[in-house]
Amino acid sequence: MDLLEYQAKELFNQVGIPVLPSQRIDRPTDLKGLRIPFPVVLKSQVYTGARGKVGGVRFVENTIDAIAAAQAIFHLPILGKYPKVLLAEAKYNADREFYLAVTLDNATRRPVLLGSQYGGVDVESHLDQMRQVVVDQTFSPFYARRLALMMGLQGKLISSVSAVIEKMYRLLVERDLDLVEINPLAVNVNEELMALDGKITVNDAALGRQPALTALVAAIPNPTLTYMPNCGVHLVELEGNIGVLCSGAGLTMSTLDLLHKAKGRPANFVDLGGDYRHCCPPNVLQERVKQGLDLITQTKGLKVIMVNMLGGATSCLQTAEAIAAFLKWQPANRTIPPLVVRLVGSEWAAAQSLLAAMEIPVYESMDEAIAQTIGLASTAVKVQPGQSKSSLMLASA
């Protein structure tokens, strides 16, 4: 999960990475109480990049201009998202701009330090200048100096830049982060450093042991959370007319692929997870099936729902019972689209009998279930335009 720039800079400040005096702006009138002297930069706090090019960053010289600019930025969508807060920050005269990052390298399975003398907007056009140091054993500051040298730094910049890298590394480890990035790290004419923009990606799986981070991010809903530490059931919305409920990421991907291949259009999906989630052991799967179906059916325009469940310690009958219970508890005025169910495991016949009584077909073959689903979805239903694609979540029972 990504942090917003102002949250990242709070963490930078805590570990001693130099950041400019700044102030969080929740509404334009906050600028009347600004404690930073003008000129000031106002920055839209959104999770996407490239805000500068579309007007999400503005320089202002006085309170009147600042309030006007803030109003404009609050009403400026960036890749479809409106900011909930802005960051007001002092100006800095950068002579040069570096790029620094610390993250995990999948291939070596180690933390990796990244750096370039070509930071800021130049980083993509100078990818060949990006240097990398793998932290293969216990970190020590010499790894950071190694990167500084590879970046071509000399003299006192070696120590000052590697001190920033060291702090970024310690932040990564202490807070269980996936990424700590400073871009640009500004260097002024006196070779002093300043983190002008920063990005932090929290490791979602580790959030449960990082109460301070959890508190930090609780304020502002974040769409990038991929792993539910509390095993909540998570709906992903797409644009189509087929609801999908699956067990496990691999099977979910495969199911979506096969629907897509057969020209079906999934409207959304819920992945109930594999067999090895401690927070939601198999014995709560029935409850989770109900929660998943409840989320899926909140999307409008569904023509059919495909349930594809395999593995786990739950029997087919138990899954079927959960589906039956979900349908039984619906209010009379609510219309649920037809279901196609694919189950593998014990008590299959009993599951089939139970659901057959509710006119729900049960298959053992994934291909057959896909074919039936596509058949039911084939009468196209127009999806409500402007429908939000944001994620809905339900906490687990």
Partner 1 sequence: MSFAAESHVLVYGIAEPLGSLYVPKMVAYGTPIVAGVSPGYGGQVVAGIPVFDLVEQAIETVGSIDTVLILVPPYEVLDAALEAMAAEIGQLILIAEGVPPLDMVQILREAEATETLVVGPNSPGVIVPGEVLLGTHPAECYLPGSVGLISRSGTLTYEVALELTRAGIGQSIAVGLGGDRIVGSSFQQWLQILEEDDRTEAIVLIGEIGGESEEMAARYIAEAIDKPVIAYLAGYSLPKGQPMGHVGAVVTAKIAGLGVDVGTIDSKLTAFKQAKIPVADRPSKLPKLVQQALDKVRT
Residue list 80-109, contact with partner 1 (CB under 8 A): 99, 101, 103-107, 109
Task: Output the CA torsion 328→277→221→20 (10° steps).
Answer: 180
Minimum CB–partner distance for residue 1 and partner 1 (Å): 10
Q: Which residue, 66 or 242, has its beta carbon nearer to partner 1? A: 242
Q: Is omega for the bond preceding 184 within 30 degrees of 0, making it cis? A: yes
- Smaller CB separation from partner 1, 18 or 345: 345
Smallest distance from the beta carbon of 247 to partner 1, in angstroms?
6
H helices of the chain, where?
5-15, 63-74, 141-150, 156-174, 211-218, 249-261, 285-296, 316-328, 348-356, 366-377
Query: Which residues in the 112-131 window bind partner 1 by CB under 8 A?
Result: 114, 123-124, 127
Task: In whole angstroms, give the CA distance from residue 148 to residue 389.
Answer: 42
Burial 285-301 (b: 16+ CB within 10 A, else e): bbebbbbbbbbbbebee
**Smallest distance from the beta carbon of 276 to partner 1, in angstroms?**
4
Which 158-187 positions form the footprint of partner 1 (CB under 8 A)? Answer: 158-159, 162, 172-173, 176, 178-179, 181, 183
How many CB atoms are located within 10 Å of the residue 375 CB?
A: 13
Token pair of 66 as six digits: 């600042």
- Binding of partner 1 by 110 (CB under 8 A): yes
Q: Segment 44-83, which members bind partner 1 (CB under 8 A)?
A: 49-50
Nearest approach, Cβ of residue 397 and partner 1 (Å) = 15
**Please, which of residues 252-281 interact with partner 1 by CB under 8 A?**
252-254, 256-261, 271, 273-279, 281
- Whole-number Å distance between alpha carbons of 184 and 99: 5
Q: Which of 29, 62, 140, 378 binds partner 1 (CB under 8 A)?
A: 140
CA distance linking residue 382 with residue 303, whole number of Å: 10
| Nearer of residues 173 and 212 to partner 1, judged by Cβ | 173
Binding mask 229-248 for partner 1 (x = CB under 8 A): x------x-x-------xxx
Gyration radius (Cα) of the chain, Å: 26
Helix axes 156-174, 141-150, angle to 10 degrees: 130
DSSP class of residue 166 equals H
Whole-Å CA distances, 199 to 10, 135, 329: 11, 21, 45
Within 193-212, the residues that bind partner 1 by CB under 8 A are 201, 203, 205-206, 208-209
Looking at the Cβ atoms of 89 and 166, the one nearer to partner 1 is 166
Query: Can you tell me the distance from the alpha carbon of 298 to that of 37, in angstroms, rounded to the nearest whole number?
Result: 49
3-class secondary-structure state, position 53? coil
Whose Cβ is closer to partner 1: residue 42's or residue 259's? Answer: 259
Site for partner 1 in 329-388 (CB under 8 A): 344-346, 365-367
Q: Which is nearer to partner 1, 48 or 384 (CB)?
A: 48
Contact in structure between 74 and 28 (CB atoms under 8 Å):
yes
Residue 7 CB, nearest approach to partner 1 (Å): 17
Which lies closer to partner 1 via its Cβ, residue 60 or residue 351?
351
Q: Which one among 79, 250, 330, 380 touches partner 1, defined by CB under 8 A?
A: 250
